[in-house]
């Protein structure tokens, strides 16, 4: 874990590898609001010239380059490191061995279009806009959302200059903000709801005159577990708007879960080729040479030459 600078020291600095043809990582100042969260392996948004790019923190607590005025980190993309130390070490080795920019190596390691914690969208509910804030942090978040409208966690960090994770979690638990995961737009994740801990009678009373709302509370209370939006709607006979409203009121807690897809469509048809594959004499000779070299240990280069369809892959698999 990183630590904030001690009294009398300069600002905490972090080395960030960006996916650009640069020989080394760039140095950025870590705002005080991010100091407890920034670790090697976490993605951040930084400014390089006029552009904003996503980079990976590779070291925390570095020295400032001589004669360079450092810029602050703009926002955190993740709330925890995506890359463990061994993968960071592998990326450094790869970049050094192949003389490749570290940021581009890290971009190749990470899955493309990987959604981040900072890409979640936040919107203020009616209750959040009207209720008095319960502290300075919540007041700052509410004021920013009133000014900007629905936004992302990263954008909110840029506006407020620090992490607001604790305040957002408290506001979401109270039904004052709704945090939407961008993965909900895809087909592999489902929206689900659950009853948060609390007095069930108070939760029913919070539904007001909405009979479908009370029916949803009764259903989940009897079910004793979370349920998907489709499951609730089908059983209770309510629409999606009722569920969203209950989540805004804090009666329900909304989250996403992975959809359990059927694998039947991926099951291969039975092979029409039966029996064991018998190697030709030339293949058997090659396999014998390769397996003997493997058993002997050490390093032995081999060239397996043959035309397309000659059976080179089978030799490789046997070896």
Say yes or no: 18 and 93 in one domain: yes
Domain count, the chain: 3
Task: Give the burial class of 131: count Cβ atoms within 10 A of its Cβ; 0-12 exposed, 13-18 middle, 19 or more buried.
Answer: middle
The predicted structure's pLDDT at residue 89: 94
Same domain, yes or no, for 81 and 122? no
Instruction: Tell me what pLDDT residue 106 has.
Output: 94
CATH number of domain containing 100: 3.40.1440.60
Residues 28 and 51 in one domain: yes
- Strand order, beta sheet including 253-258: 227-228, 189-194, 253-258
Based on the fold, state whether residues 152 and 187 are members of the same structural domain.
yes
Is 20 inside a domain boundary?
yes
30 domain-assigned: yes
**Per-residue pLDDT tens digits of the chain, which is 319 residues long:** 444 444 446 789 999 999 999 989 999 999 887 887 889 999 998 989 888 888 999 999 999 888 888 898 888 888 778 888 999 999 999 999 999 999 999 999 988 767 666 667 888 888 888 888 888 888 888 888 888 788 877 778 777 766 677 788 888 888 888 877 665 554 466 788 999 888 989 999 999 888 999 999 999 999 888 888 888 988 888 888 889 889 888 899 888 766 665 555 555 555 555 567 889 999 999 999 999 888 888 888 889 888 888 889 998 888 8
Note whether 144 and 210 are same-domain residues.
yes
138 and 232 co-located in one domain: yes
In a domain, 254, yes or no: yes
**Does one domain contain both 100 and 132?**
no
Kindly state whether residues 126 and 242 are assigned to the same domain: yes
Residue 60 CA to residue 73 CA, distance in Å, equals: 12
The answer to whether position 313 is within a domain reads yes
Same domain flag for 133 and 252: yes
Q: What is the pTM of this model?
A: 0.49
Last residue of a domain, one of 109, 131, 163: 109
Between CA 279 and CA 289, with CA 285 as vertex, the angle to 5 degrees is 125
Range of the domain at 95: 13-109
Which of 109, 127, 148 is the last residue in one of the domains?
Answer: 109
- Which of 87, 109, 131 is a domain's end point? 109
Residues 36 and 156 in one domain: no
Domain membership flag for residue 275 = no
> Does residue 194 sit within a domain?
yes
**248 plus 286 within the same structural domain:** no
Residues 43 and 129 in one domain: no
Query: Is residue 269 one of the residues assigned to a domain?
Result: no
273 within a domain of the structure (yes/no): no
């Amino acid at each position: 874990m990183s630590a904030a600078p001690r009294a009398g020291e300069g600002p905490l600095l972090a080395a960030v590898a960006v996916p650009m043809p640069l020989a080394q990582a760039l140095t950025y100042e870590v705002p005080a609001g991010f100091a407890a969260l920034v670790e090697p392996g976490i993605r951040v948004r930084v400014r390089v010239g006029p552009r904003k790019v996503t980079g990976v923190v590779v070291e925390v607590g570095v020295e400032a380059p001589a004669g360079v005025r450092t810029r602050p980190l703009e926002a955190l993309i993740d709330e925890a490191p995506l890359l463990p130390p061994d993968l960071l070490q592998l990326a450094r080795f790869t970049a050094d061995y192949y003389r490749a920019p570290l940021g581009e190596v890290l971009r190749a390691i990470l899955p493309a279009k990987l959604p981040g914690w900072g890409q979640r969208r936040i919107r203020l509910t009616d209750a959040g806009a009207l209720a008095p804030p319960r502290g300075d942090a919540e007041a700052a978040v509410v004021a920013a959302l009133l000014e900007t409208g629905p936004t992302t966690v990263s954008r909110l960090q840029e506006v407020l200059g620090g992490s607001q994770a604790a305040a957002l979690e408290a506001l979401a638990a109270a039904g004052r903000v709704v945090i939407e995961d961008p993965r909900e737009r895809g087909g592999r994740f489902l929206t689900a709801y659950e009853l948060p801990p609390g007095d069930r009678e108070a939760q029913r009373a919070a539904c007001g005159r909405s009979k479908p709302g009370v029916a949803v509370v009764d259903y989940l209370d009897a079910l004793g577990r979370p349920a998907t939006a489709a499951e609730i709607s089908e059983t209770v006979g309510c629409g999606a708007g009722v569920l969203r409203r209950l989540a805004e009121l804090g009666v329900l807690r909304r989250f996403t879960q992975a959809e359990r897809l059927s694998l039947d469509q991926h099951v291969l048809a039975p092979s029409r080729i039966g029996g064991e594959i018998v190697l030709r004499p030339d293949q058997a000779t090659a396999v014998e040479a390769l397996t003997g070299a493997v058993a002997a240990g050490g390093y032995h280069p081999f060239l397996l030459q043959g035309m397309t369809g000659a059976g080179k892959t089978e030799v490789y698999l046997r070896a």
